[in-house]
Amino acid sequence: MHTLFHKVWNAHAVRVLSSGQTQLFVGLHLIHEVTSPQAFDMIRQHGWRVAYPERTFATVDHIVPTSSQRRPFLDVTAEEMTVVLERNCRDFGIQLWTPGSPGGENQGIVHVIGPELGLTQPGMTIACGDSHTSTHGALGAIAFGIGTSQVRDVLASQCLALDRMNVRRIDVNGRLGPGVYAKDVILTIIRRLGVQGGVGYAYEYGGTTLDRMTIEERMTICNMSIEGGARAGYVNPDETTFAFLRGRMFVPTGAAFDRAVAWWRHIASDPDARYDDRVTLDAAAIEPTVTWGINPGQSVGIGERIGESADQEALTFMGFERGGQVQGTRIDVAFIGSCTNGRLSDLEEAARLVRGRHVAPHVRALVVPGSQAVSRAAEAKGLPEIFTKAGFEWRGAGCSMCLAMNPDRLEGRQICASSSNRNFKGRQGSPTGRTLLMSPAMVAAAAVAGEVVDVREMMEEVGIG
């Protein structure tokens, strides 16, 4: 009668601290260049050592340039932050993957490479100084974002002091229509439950729709749990999970793999597990979804009008009106990438739409693969050629225009159709820049049309779907 969350929590709980919080062992710690340098400084100041260096893995993603990744980077600050991470990892014996270094071919967005390398496994607790750590829940792990002081705590003790979360079960049942993707499902969930609805909760996603989804689709869903306020989100491990994991670099092989599968099965929620709350959605009712506002809960179905109760600050910033539509909005930039939608299946789906066609003349369009491995897999399928022929820029791996810590950014009041996760004011690098969140296929369709369109119509036009 226990949930995966409770089983994992109990297996990792060290003790209850005098504060009433639980000391929780962290099975996998992922770090990157932006939220770790100050943590290492604090470790040095106190003269601490890293308790379990073999349980921390590092890469560069946030600030890393994606135009050219030859070292030294042209961006001096990016180079400096990378060098600092390289020194920290060397000093403390932590495995690191950066461009231009041995193993550099494993570099990528931390939430893309964790699952890709098989570091992320069911039943683990996973922490990283990044709120989209919830992504790893797609493989049945309890994974959450932490701040830099907590990165220090994990380095020093491999533990965190945490309050236990409640568990909300979210069932999505039925079949998604053509042109409707995991991104649309999670945007719909956030719209329904609100951007704060998940505070205090871990979200357990299930139902027949989730059962049929690939791991990459489940990652898109779990990734945006935090946009709904839930620090962690997960899907119970199943045959799809085990098949995904088999053969990956850090996954056990042979008889050990079978023993691992047995443990992974046992850690899944029991059929009669009790939840603190339950919500059910009908997949067939979900439309291709786009945001119109300045938080990920402010969205509409593509055919829908913006509601009468829409927030005025958001409307003014975005230039929309109550009763208006997002469909038909002229875009300036199209961005396909990020830890939400920068994996191979995302790029393949977008490529299906742009093959043999061209980006509208006024649109700047870029594709940023989530990792170097995604990039290589895409190359093997000829995707870079399809995208570049269509007028997209094809980039190196990183976070890029999702948060604009590198030179990829919006200018002025540009509008960007984006497959990323946040439409906050200023998020894509211009204080007045505007973001419309949508699926990668919707971004591809918008890039070609030069405006936000219903991807289903374009799919019919080109005879796919």
Region 212-231 residues binding other proteins, contact defined as CB under 8 A: 226-227, 229, 231
* Nearest CB to other proteins, comparing residues 147 and 319: 147
From residue 412, alpha-carbon distances to 177, 365, 397, 422 in Å are 36, 17, 25, 18
Stretch that binds other proteins, among 151-159, 236-244, 321-329, 345-353 (CB under 8 A): 151-159
* Nearest CB to other proteins, comparing residues 62 and 364: 62
Provide the 3-class DSSP secondary structure of residue 352. Answer: helix
**Cβ 317 to other proteins, closest distance in Å?**
9
Q: Which of 217, 270, 214 has the alpha carbon at shortest distance from 243?
A: 214
Place of tokens 């995991």: 182
- Over the window 10 to 49, marking each residue x when it contacts other proteins by CB under 8 A and - when it does not, the resulting string is -xxxxx-xxxxx-x-x-x------xx-xx--x----x-x-
CB atoms closer than 10 angstroms to residue 370: 31
Give the separation between CA 22 and CA 164, rounded to whole angstroms.
7
CB atoms closer than 10 angstroms to residue 387: 26
* Nearest CB to other proteins, comparing residues 80 and 270: 80
What single-letter DSSP state applies at residue 371? B
Provide the 3-class DSSP secondary structure of residue 402. Answer: helix
**Cβ 430 to other proteins, closest distance in Å?**
9
- Over the window 418 to 447, marking each residue x when it contacts other proteins by CB under 8 A and - when it does not, the resulting string is ----x-xxxx-x-xx---------------
Contact 3, 12 (CB under 8 A): no
**Cβ 133 to other proteins, closest distance in Å?**
8
Give the separation between CA 465 and CA 458, rounded to whole angstroms.
10
- Which of 95, 257, 325, 459 is in the footprint of other proteins by CB under 8 A? 257
Q: Which of 160, 170, 33 has the alpha carbon at shortest distance from 88?
A: 33
Provide the 3-class DSSP secondary structure of residue 300. Answer: strand
- Which of 72, 93, 147, 323 is in the footprint of other proteins by CB under 8 A? 147
Query: How many CA within 13 A on the CB side of residue 440?
Result: 29
Stretch that binds other proteins, among 160-168, 174-182, 364-372, 374-382 (CB under 8 A): 160-168
- Which of 6, 7, 111, 152 is in the footprint of other proteins by CB under 8 A? 152
Amino acid at 32: H
By CB under 8 A, the count of residues binding other proteins is: 80
Q: Which of residues 301-360 bind other proteins (CB under 8 A)?
A: 313
Q: Which of residues 183-202 bind other proteins (CB under 8 A)?
A: 195-196, 199-200
**Cβ 462 to other proteins, closest distance in Å?**
36
Amino acid at 200: G
- Over the window 83 to 122, marking each residue x when it contacts other proteins by CB under 8 A and - when it does not, the resulting string is -x------------------------------------x-
**Cβ 3 to other proteins, closest distance in Å?**
18
**Cβ 337 to other proteins, closest distance in Å?**
16
- Which of 157, 166, 173, 325 is in the footprint of other proteins by CB under 8 A? 157
**Cβ 367 to other proteins, closest distance in Å?**
21
Q: Which of 463, 462, 445 has the alpha carbon at shortest distance from 454?
A: 445
* Nearest CB to other proteins, comparing residues 162 and 390: 162
Question: If binding is defined by CB under 8 A, does position 291 make contact with other proteins?
Answer: no
CB atoms closer than 10 angstroms to residue 450: 16
Give the separation between CA 357 and CA 449, rounded to whole angstroms.
10
- Which of 4, 31, 63, 281 is in the footprint of other proteins by CB under 8 A? 63
Q: Tell me whether strands 56-59 and 201-206 are parallel, antiparallel or unpaired.
A: unpaired
Distance of CA 355 to the CA centre of its chain: 26
- Which of 67, 95, 131, 214 is in the footprint of other proteins by CB under 8 A? 131
**Cβ 159 to other proteins, closest distance in Å?**
5
Question: If binding is defined by CB under 8 A, does position 361 make contact with other proteins?
Answer: no
* Nearest CB to other proteins, comparing residues 183 and 409: 409
Question: If binding is defined by CB under 8 A, does position 462 make contact with other proteins?
Answer: no
Using a 10 angstrom Cβ sphere, with 0-12 exposed, 13-18 middle and 19 or more buried, the burial of residue 42 is middle
**Cβ 397 to other proteins, closest distance in Å?**
18
* Nearest CB to other proteins, comparing residues 357 and 434: 434
* Nearest CB to other proteins, comparing residues 58 and 146: 146
Cis previous bond, 72, omega within 30 = yes
* Nearest CB to other proteins, comparing residues 43 and 221: 43
* Nearest CB to other proteins, comparing residues 109 and 146: 146
Q: Tell me whether strands 289-291 and 201-206 are parallel, antiparallel or unpaired.
A: unpaired
User: What would the DSSP string read from start to end of 16-43?
Assistant: E-TTS-EEEE-SEEEE-TTTSHHHHHHH
Give the separation between CA 153 and CA 172, rounded to whole angstroms.
37
**Cβ 149 to other proteins, closest distance in Å?**
4
